């Protein structure tokens, strides 16, 4: 694991961190107290924040960039669990119980991460038990959302998953939009539960509704068509892609 340089957070860093889901239900002064000892780490693409099996020492909040959470399988493959974006935290339960990390966290772009020492969080919880209640409730809601996302993903065909993913990257407005894929296509495939070749076929099929992809550059002519496809696959993009993993 690389040695990471720590700096003090900016006011904007603290603003982003204060709105993370794990702090839902806490009063602003309590959140400010929890963030008091925070530092910020900068990672370059490929840097590992922590590895599966390491003892949890901190709660982390993504301030900018993208990170992947993954596990190494017995066969030596890499199973992507989640891709984290700005405003998401990891891993609350391990940090609060001083357990070992269940997965590895690696930067897939340049990333800035806010770090709060786990022992400090535990001390705050002992002094103010209501913090634990709020954080447990927030973690429970997050788990429910993740289960719903998995159920939603399983119900979609491959091309619907890709359409929804691209639509989520588009800014407000009907289009046309020029956007960039946020990370490597192999990671996108893993994130969407597809094989890389299935992702390539989906990209090719989307040309028929005005989506053109060259390397990491994407042109979306009409966002509404992408959103419509994500809900109900249309015959004009050809046969459905199967649920390949």
For residues 228 and 233, give the distance between their C-alpha atoms in angstroms, rounded to a whole number. 8
* pLDDT tens digits for range 10-29: 999 999 999 998 888 889 99
List beta partners, residue 107.
67
State pLDDT tens for residues 177-207: 999 998 889 889 988 888 899 999 999 999 9
Of 214, 217, 236, residue with least CA distance to 225: 236
Coil, helix or strand at residue 160: helix
Query: Measuring CA to CA, which residue among 115, 99, 25, 24 is closest to residue 62?
Result: 115
92: pLDDT confidence band, cut at 50, 70 and 90? confident
**Residue 235: other Cβ atoms inside 10 A:** 7
According to DSSP, residue 100 is labeled B
Predicted model pTM: 0.79
d(CA 231, CA 193) in angstroms, rounded, equals: 18
Instruction: Using pLDDT thresholds of 50, 70 and 90, give the confidence band for residue 235.
Output: very low
Query: 140 pLDDT exceeds 90?
Result: no
- DSSP β-bridge partners for residue 178: 219
Of 57-71, 93-107, 132-146, 151-165, the one with minimum mean pLDDT is 132-146
The model's confidence at residue 241, banded by pLDDT at 50, 70 and 90, is very low
Taking only the tens place, the pLDDT of each residue in 204-233 is: 999 999 999 999 999 999 999 999 998 876
Q: What is the 3-state secondary structure (H, E, C) of 218-234?
A: EEECCHHHHHHHHHCCC
The rounded distance, in Å, linking the Cα atoms of 57 and 51 is 12
């Amino acid at each position: 694991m690389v040695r990471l340089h720590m700096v003090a957070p900016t006011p904007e860093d603290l603003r982003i961190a204060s709105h993370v889901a794990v702090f839902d239900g806490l009063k602003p002064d309590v959140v400010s107290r929890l963030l008091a000892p925070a530092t910020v780490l900068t990672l370059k693409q490929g840097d590992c924040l922590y590895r599966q099996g390491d003892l949890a020492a901190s709660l982390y909040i993504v301030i900018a960039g993208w990170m992947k959470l993954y596990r190494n399988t017995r066969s030596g493959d890499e199973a992507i669990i989640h891709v984290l974006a700005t405003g998401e935290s990891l891993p609350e339960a391990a940090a609060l119980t001083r357990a070992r990390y269940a997965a590895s966290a690696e930067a897939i772009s340049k990333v800035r991460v806010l770090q709060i020492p786990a022992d400090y969080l535990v001390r705050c919880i002992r002094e103010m038990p209501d913090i634990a209640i709020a954080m447990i409730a927030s973690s429970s809601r997050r788990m429910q959302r993740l289960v719903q996302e998995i159920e939603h993903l399983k119900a979609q065909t491959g091309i619907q998953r890709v359409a929804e993913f691209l639509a989520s990257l588009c800014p407000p407005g009907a289009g046309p939009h020029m956007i960039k894929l946020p990370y490597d296509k192999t990671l996108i495939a893993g994130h969407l539960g597809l094989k890389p070749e299935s992702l390539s076929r989906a990209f090719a099929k989307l040309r028929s509704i005005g989506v053109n992809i060259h390397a990491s550059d994407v042109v979306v002519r009409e966002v509404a068509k992408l959103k419509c496809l994500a809900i109900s696959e249309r015959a004009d993009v050809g046969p459905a892609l199967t649920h390949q993993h």
